Structure 1
Amino acid sequence: MHSLFIFVSISLTVFSVYFLVREGDDPYQVEFTPTPTTLLSSQGYLNPGDDGTHDITYFTYGSGTDQRRTEFNDGVRFKTPTLDASRLLPEWKGSKAKWRERFWGFGVKNFPLNGRVWMPQGDGTFPLFLIVHGNHGMEDYSDAGYEYIGKHLASRGVIVVSVDENFINGTWSGDFRGREMPTRGWLLLKHIEQWKAWTDDSSHELYKKADLNNIILAGHSRGGEAAPIAARFNKLAFFPDDANEKFNFNFGIKGIISIAPTDKRYERRIKLENINYMSLQGSYDSDEASFFGYRQFQRVTYTDSSYYLKAGVYIHGANHGQFNTSWGKYDGGPPGKWLLNTAPMITLEEQQQIAKVYIGAFVESVFNQKDYSALFTNAQAGADWLPKAVVLNTFSDSRTSDLITFEEDIDLTTGTKNGSIISTTALQKWREETLKFRDDDTQANNAAIIGWKKDSIERTAHYKIDFTSGIEIDSTHSLLITMARGDENSLKSDDKDKSKEGHSTDDLNFEIHITDSLGGKAIFELNDIKKLSPRLQVQFVKLKGLNNENFGNTWEPTLETVELPLRHSYISKLKTIEFVFNKSERGVLILDNIGLRKIQ
């Protein structure tokens, strides 16, 4: 009996250790072959993920008194003043503040301006790119983890600063529960202010080095929310939470990049105007488990005549931490990390290569007016630049006018454009609703849910939008249609359908018919242009039950944009757009914005 007990105990121990150390498995493998498209490289475009030709100088700047890190102590190349952030972060108080002050050697009235810099060598003035980390154990310093971005962009002629905000991150005693978000954004602006002082000082080594009319702010996690906050604060005269703190920034911030961002840590929903925006998100991000950057994407609008773009990049298999080399494979520390299912993830090298390609393309678009819109609408345009991964793209720009958004009312039969009428035939499912993330949090975005299944009399289902007065278009226009596959299991099933239930891997296909007022017609078959990705299901932890309990559904609506070129359509006055569901016998389509884009 004693021997049996020992055997069972050893077996349980071995099994437990094996379970904890194994990576897990991929219960939702994706079999998907995207529609090929014209490669940008075949049109003479250079890979924005390749390093450039500039040699690089690396240095740090900061207080020069950091008691934890040599690089911000006697290792600094330039010393910087400290800042009083007490009005922005009144929550810095009590025993938690005292412990932080013992650890760091400073408090809220003397925050440092510490930064790591990768700068192109040689004469000239270079655009400025600042990136800031998010919330992570403050003792495990995060700012060095973006070296791969710093080196990459500096070699391409951009000054990159990785900003140190570790001192307002969480620790064993907790964090500020998002109340520090304004401070995160404000610190970015104070770093730019310091660069302005240097670039304006004729006696300084950095005189005229930074082009303060060409700035991009980037952030990861809470930093991805801090960057839009900074962009909004940049235009304000006062801190909105305390007018005793005056602002006077007005820097030339041209773009924002939010990497796996939070969105609701700051109580204010930031709306941005006339700025370029991009957000990247991984499907296997168990820290920020939904594409919260898409909410900010929707809160970017354009009111002037300049060109701007906004892009969303959703990377299946990417996680939260691998965007920062020092955070890495696990989106959390022990013991929780041992439960994470990392087997389905792409590698760090693959994830960072995708980031470099898209960040490089965004930088080229914003700073050098290079047109990488084909990459922002369809990853297959850069298939020879990217590792093999399923990448979904959403895109719009200031040359796009909305025809349909589903945001205007609750009438299913009316569209956004004045006078537009919606009608349907033979649909099994038709409604408009606010999309939700996997945990039932709102995406703050309305869409139409359209479902069909061929019936016994073989009627073809249609969803038709009629612009009664017509819309002037020509061969320089395209249609941007943002949509996603829905849950086909929600359709009513008969006995013949039972075998088809579950996770469908079949391609969803249909036609889109466009007519003009004179009777002209153009017909597009979806899969000839761009196949829609299957629903991307994930299991964040090794135990399926824990996944559902902690994260919610295995999938969430993840939109992607399809661009239909009208250059060969001979449509002169757009009258109708009709979705004709004559290819796939059954399906559910989530239809979001339809826009008319003027191609340059």
Structure 2
Amino acid sequence: MEPEILYPLIPTKLPIRSRIQQQIKTTYALDLPFWRMAMGGLWIFSCYIFSLSAISMPTGLGSTLDIMLTITLGTVLFTLSSHLIALLLTLMWLPIPRLFTGGVLFNLISFYLVFWVPGSGILVSIISSIVATLLSVLLGFFIGIIHSKNNSTRIKIMITIGVLLSLFSVQIIQDPNHVDLTTQPSQPITPATQPIVSTIPYTNPAEPGPYPFQYFTYGSGFDLHRSEFDTDVNLLSSSVNASAHIKKWSFMRTLFWGFNQNQLPINGRVWMPEGAGPFPLILMVHGNHLMEDYSDEGYGYLGELLASRGFITVSVDENFLNYSVWSNIPDNDMKMRAWVLLKHLQQIRTFAEQTDTPFSGKVDLDNIAMIGHSRGGQAVAMAADSTLWFNTDAGLKDDLHSFGIQGIIALAPTDSVVDSKQTKLNHISYMALQGAKDGDLNEYFGERHYARTTFNPTDSGFKTYLHIADANHAQFNSTWGDLDLGVPKGLFLNQRQLMEGTDQRQITKVYVSAFLETVLHKKEDYMALFQDYRSGAQWLPNSTYFNKYEDGKFERLARYEEDGDKATLLYGGTAAAIGLNWSEKAYLPKNDAVVLEWNEAISGGRSSDASYSLVWDNSSLLNRLARADGLSFSIADQSADMKQKQGEQPSTPDIKVALQTHNNLTVIVSLSQFMNLKSPDMTYFTKSKWLEKHFDSGKYNLPEQPIFQTVRLPFDAFQKVNPSFNPANLKRITFYFSGGPGKIMLDDLGLYRD
């Protein structure tokens, strides 16, 4: 019998389809209980991020419902995507916890989409999404460890995660290399104790006045979202057709509001003082914000105050012109904001002419002021300068001179070019309030409007600009919150040293009320506040303030943009400098100042010899000098910037001002007798130096802007030093500089009259 030959068993190779099916069955094999529990951390963190995105993309259904819908949709996508990615990883034969990895990859991609905001920069979005994903992984590990049965391992890993979370927190919340602003508080305002500046002896203008008032609304009677302009509206207004100006109005916008550009509503919230009247009229208007997060309610704090002080105050609804994630923004929105304001004036005039409305006999249409915030701040100026844009508008051209707009107030305004034009107010009093920590409009556009506002010698108007170190953009509106940018973008903003919203609105109430009492009620009680903020120190929260002021009686001697020659002045005057570098430099469009820079190297080791002189040898100034009460100029201290570059500790320069007459009598006073010169605080808008440079396409990576302070030196202060001094014979003005190194800018030098 022949032996049986045994052949080795050769396994049959399965078809690829069968192998794939078998591999798919192992998809979740490596997702052990720890990884499955860790998935919960990924999901929880993704819900948090999705909630942030819901806040930044409101639908108008309410924040709670928006968040619930977003979390629901995010959960569905998280589940489906995690399983789909796990399946793909299985087919790649990768021996990893595939479901957990799928959740991580979903978070990474979705977080990038959430953090990617146009203008933020791709690099910022990538890093943000990576950091957020790592935090979600750490949270997942934490949850997985809590459910772990190995206590010793649990403790070790939890300690490791705690350390990692701490490191992430330090890096994300505040870059350790970033300047800690808590150690550099804004210089507190000091009440004026010097005899040269006295506090205003009258009542706080932010306190309610004697008038009781009523609140009501007017509107179209049709509003899908706000009953106060729908069934609960008190007074019906006529809709207006803006189709001649607006060509781009999306279907989604019509779906949300229920109307298009052919039927824009004229909606307003009114605070009306009780009494016979007539009362001055105030229109207030918001700026650009999320359309679905209505902005017009946010100025009620001003409406109530002003009505109690005898002003009819209206908060204008222009929310339908604002931006929406779902429908973008209409074209010509800036122009339309001014157009709608003028339509409100026409509507209020119609109400006043009707005997059965609350406006009947109550409105003084020759005594009007407008208050605008952000884009609204530009819109009110455009409405006051309306002939530049609407002199051919069929519905407005006959009324452009029918309304007596006496004053404009801008809260952190924009200053964009519209139809190749910009406002140039004349004969109209102007005030701008600006926060140094404005993370939205960080270029201080209100000062540009201020620079373009002019007066004739016979005008009684004035212009003033207040710079507030610790104020931001949003808090002028009580409903916008404290972030100047929407989330998640706003989470990168540095909120340290930001004043409370109530304090910012207290400043607003003080200045707005005082301005309107001065301009519309013709009271002189608060005029000193605009000339020198220290006169109202008792009403203002602690912060660092700078203010500029000028009126129609100001006689300019040097503006520095007349001819481009730094050595020539108006009225045949000449300028010269000793021991310093000097030049003329633009700090605003079409607005120059003289820059004076000194140190021992420039002055040959004698920094005390540095001086800048302005001389007039002819008699062309005699008439102007005879009626002047003092010398006025705006000054900006930039010494800190210069000293930082040279690695030296900043110190306040010592400046003296000498006035010399034609008979060679010279009187010298120290600037510190009138105003303590100070440098503005360094502003950091974001939470790290790296973000400051890269965030929002380098928006915050700009040179520090000079912040000017107007100083008034009364001639009688010089006469107290030497009674023989006669300002009518003034020939030379000299600024002497010591200390240093130092750098200042001078502008708007001239004569003032009380």
Superposition TM-score, scaled by structure 2 size: 0.72
Is contact 1:21–1:338 with CA below 8 Å preserved after alignment?
A: no
2:717 counterpart of 1:564: no
- Which of 412, 427, 430 is the aligned partner of 2:566? 412
- 1:290, distance to aligned residue in structure 2 (A): 2.1
- 1:548, distance to aligned residue in structure 2 (A): 2.9
Q: Which has the larger radius of gyration?
A: 2
- Which of 629, 652, 656 is the aligned partner of 1:477? 629
Written as runs of structure 1 = structure 2, the 5 A alignment for 1:40-51 is 44-51=201-208
How well do the aligned residues superpose, as a CA RMSD in angstroms? 2.6
2:444 counterpart of 1:291: yes
**Which position in structure 2 is the counterpart of 1:546?**
691
Partner amino acid, structure 2, of 1:232: D
2:539 counterpart of 1:394: no
Written as runs of structure 1 = structure 2, the 5 A alignment for 1:335-354 is 335-354=488-507
3-state secondary structure, aligned to 1:273? coil
2:619 counterpart of 1:467: no
- Structure 1 runs of 4+ aligned residues shifted over 6 Å read 1-6, 17-24
Distance across 2 between alignment mates of 1:46 and 1:575 = 42
Moved more, 33-42 or 46-55: 33-42
Instruction: Write out per-residue CA displacement over residues 94-117 of structure 1, whole angstroms, 9 at most, x where no aligned residue.
Output: xxx110000000000000000111
Unpaired segments ≥5 residues, structure 1: 436-441
- Which of 575, 579, 586 is the aligned partner of 1:422? 575
Instruction: Write out per-residue CA displacement over residues 518-572 of structure 1, whole angstroms, 9 at most, x where no aligned residue.
Output: 3333322111101122132111111222113331247311111001111343322
Is contact 1:142–1:326 with CA below 8 Å preserved after alignment?
A: yes
- 1:20, distance to aligned residue in structure 2 (A): 6.3
**Which position in structure 2 is the counterpart of 1:57?**
214
Distance across 2 between alignment mates of 1:33 and 1:52 = 26
- 1:382, distance to aligned residue in structure 2 (A): 0.6
C-alpha distance 43-294 of structure 1, shift in aligned 2 (>3 A): closer
Partner amino acid, structure 2, of 1:260: A
Partner amino acid, structure 1, of 2:753: K
Distance across 1 between alignment mates of 2:558 and 2:367 = 33
**Which position in structure 2 is the counterpart of 1:439?**
none
- Which of 566, 579, 593 is the aligned partner of 2:735? 579
Alignment identity in percent?
Answer: 34
3-state secondary structure, aligned to 1:483? strand
**Which position in structure 2 is the counterpart of 1:145?**
298
Is contact 2:583–2:595 with CA below 8 Å preserved after alignment?
A: yes
Unpaired segments ≥5 residues, structure 2: 1-140, 142-152, 720-725
**Which position in structure 1 is the counterpart of 2:536?**
382
Distance across 2 between alignment mates of 1:525 and 1:303 = 32
2:378 counterpart of 1:225: yes
Distance across 2 between alignment mates of 1:177 and 1:443 = 28
**Which position in structure 1 is the counterpart of 2:262?**
109
**Which position in structure 2 is the counterpart of 1:248?**
398
- 1:123, distance to aligned residue in structure 2 (A): 2.2
Distance across 2 between alignment mates of 1:32 and 1:353 = 16
**Which position in structure 2 is the counterpart of 1:330?**
483
Partner amino acid, structure 1, of 2:238: P
C-alpha distance 259-581 of structure 1, shift in aligned 2 (>3 A): same
- 1:339, distance to aligned residue in structure 2 (A): 1.4
2:421 counterpart of 1:268: yes
Partner amino acid, structure 2, of 1:69: R
2:745 counterpart of 1:590: yes
Distance across 1 between alignment mates of 2:705 and 2:527 = 26
Distance across 2 between alignment mates of 1:411 and 1:476 = 27
Is contact 2:556–2:749 with CA below 8 Å preserved after alignment?
A: yes
Superposition TM-score, scaled by structure 1 size: 0.90
* Residues paired across the two proteins, number: 576
- 1:206, distance to aligned residue in structure 2 (A): 1.9
Written as runs of structure 1 = structure 2, the 5 A alignment for 1:106-185 is 106-173=259-326, 175-176=328-329, 179-185=332-338
- Which of 428, 442, 446 is the aligned partner of 2:592? 446
Distance across 1 between alignment mates of 2:160 and 2:243 = 58
Distance across 2 between alignment mates of 1:404 and 1:142 = 42
Partner amino acid, structure 2, of 1:273: N
C-alpha distance 178-535 of structure 1, shift in aligned 2 (>3 A): farther
C-alpha distance 161-566 of structure 1, shift in aligned 2 (>3 A): same
Is contact 2:475–2:501 with CA below 8 Å preserved after alignment?
A: yes
- 1:303, distance to aligned residue in structure 2 (A): 3.0
Is contact 1:38–1:381 with CA below 8 Å preserved after alignment?
A: no
Larger RCO of the pair (alpha carbons < 8 Å, separation 6+) = 1
- 1:344, distance to aligned residue in structure 2 (A): 1.1
C-alpha distance 326-554 of structure 1, shift in aligned 2 (>3 A): farther
Distance across 2 between alignment mates of 1:390 and 1:232 = 32
2:390 counterpart of 1:239: yes
- 1:186, distance to aligned residue in structure 2 (A): 0.9
3-state secondary structure, aligned to 2:630? strand
C-alpha distance 84-178 of structure 1, shift in aligned 2 (>3 A): closer
Is contact 2:199–2:537 with CA below 8 Å preserved after alignment?
A: no
3-state secondary structure, aligned to 1:581? strand
Is contact 2:607–2:737 with CA below 8 Å preserved after alignment?
A: no
